Amino acid sequence: MTANHSPLYFDDRETWDPEQRERDLFARLPAQLAHAKAHAPAFATLLAKVDPQAVTDRAALAQLPVVRKSELLERQKAARPFGGFAAVQWGRSCLRVFASPGPIYEPEGPQPDYYRLARALWAAGFREGDLVHNTFAYHMTPAGSMMETAAHAIGCTVFPAGVGQTELQVQAIADLQPNAYTGTPSFLRILREKCEATGVPCTFRKALVSGEAFPPALQQELAAAGVDAYQAYATADIGLIAYETAARAGLVVGEDLIVEIVRPGTNEPVPEGEVGEVVVTTLNPTYPLIRFGTGDLSAVIPGRSPCGRTNMRLKGWLGRADQTAKIRGMFVHPAQVQQVVRRFPEITRARLVVTNPDLKDEMTLQCETAGAVPDGLGGQVAAALKEITKLRGSVAFVPAGTLPNDGKVIDDQRQYE
């Protein structure tokens, strides 16, 4: 946090002109790429032919490979603990190591507010002197530390409640009267209900929630009970990606990140507003993830937030990007569908629809085209589909704008009842 900040904004970068922010990020990116190549063996291999000094805009960045969680997991299995993606070893440069499902291991470096969540807490109204009841897990997973280090950066005191043991947590609420909560929205609801059932006043007045969906109905329910709750989008690998503000108009991307939305299964960014996979490049020197595919679907909201923050906004979590389907005993991946589409410039959008009438798998590649469908195109596309997937499928052409903007490349509609 900067020494001087307004009551509204964590630092002045939140209101920078977007072009200034873009220049700053891409001025810093070449040094991060060089650092990753020099100190993270996996990136020394992945970026072997890349000149860091040439990657100075989004077009150049889009030429680099996307590293997805599945690759991270496989490389970690082959080279523990971090698969060559971290730039640190045990000691002062790596204060903690955590485990996520897989398991995937993540380092925590020594930087204050390492996960950069303090600005999300600030936007949610957290201030110095608050007592934060932190119910994220402290055991193996990083979520507890993510929120605690952010709260400390602001000047809050933290009660490390962790998960479960609701009766003891309610006792602590009665005794300590914390005014702030961090954790999942569902557990906040559970604690409130437990307090009500036992006659203990629930003293929470502000909250930052994450880890699961936060539907508007629950947000309104909490607001009616006097709890002003906001959500943050963060991952164990990256830390904060985006956060909600008082505008309640999407999630504002955090600083020190370059966020792209790419077509699932590919390296290709999609047009603004189209749903795709969230891909993040971080400027974190400890864990310098370059074009890291989160596996989450989202879309960019055009324009600036009414709250005055000027960074890119995301619509929030819109599903998972991994749409691999097993069809007639063969795995079909989104990248294969895109490989077919790239052969035919007439196709502007496509999705593979999988059904099973009479419990027999069938697949149809639905294609939008910019104009009239040329004679013979359907047969050519079907042949390419068979060549690439090793499976026979049909092709259907639909009018432009027919396919939903939901990020799906493979739409598995099979039913088994």
CB 153 within 8 A of CB 112: yes
Q: What is residue 3's predicted lDDT score, i.e. its pLDDT?
A: 43
At 73, list the tokens.
């997991």
Residue 328: per-residue pLDDT: 83
Mean pLDDT of 23-50: 97
Query: Of 47-56, 213-222, 273-282, 324-333, which gets the smallest average pLDDT?
Result: 324-333
Residue 358 has pLDDT above 90, yes or no: no
Q: What is the DSSP letter of 269?
A: B
pLDDT tens, position by position, 382-396? 999 999 998 999 999
3-state secondary structure of 310: coil
Mean pLDDT computed over 139-143: 92
Mean pLDDT of all residues in 132-154: 96
Q: Which residue in 151, 58, 145, 63 sits closest to 107, CA to CA?
A: 145
Mean pLDDT in residue range 19-42: 98
Burial of residue 17 (number of CB atoms within 10 Å: 0-12, 13-18, 19+): exposed
Question: Is it the case that residue 78 has pLDDT exceeding 70?
Answer: yes
212 pLDDT tier (thresholds 50, 70, 90): confident
Summary mean pLDDT of the chain: 93
Q: Give dist(CA 23, CA 91) in Å, integer.
A: 34
CA distance 364 to 410: 10
What pLDDT, on a 0 to 100 scale, did the predictor assign at position 417? 57
pLDDT of residue 261 exceeding 90, the answer is yes
Instruction: Supply the pTM of this predicted model.
Output: 0.85
pLDDT tens digits for range 306-337 = 999 999 999 988 887 878 888 887 878 888 99
The 394-398 sheet, strands edge to edge: 394-398, 362-369, 347-355, 410-412
* Domains parsed from the chain with CATH numbers: 12-320 (3.40.50.12780), 325-412 (3.30.300.30)
- The reported pLDDT for the residue numbered 321 is 80
Q: How far is CA 71 from CA 46, 281, 294, 320, 331, in A?
A: 12, 16, 12, 16, 17
Q: Is the pLDDT of residue 227 over 90?
A: yes
DSSP state of 373: P
Looking at the predicted structure, is the pLDDT value of residue 2 above 70? Answer: no
Q: Compute the average pLDDT of residues 284-296.
A: 95
pLDDT at 264: 87
Element (H, E) at 300: strand 300-301
Average pLDDT rounded to a whole number, residues 53-59: 98
Higher-pLDDT residue of 259 and 89 is 259
pLDDT at residue 1, rounded to an integer: 44
Sign of the CA dihedral running 342, 345, 346, 348: positive
* 267 against 51, higher pLDDT: 51
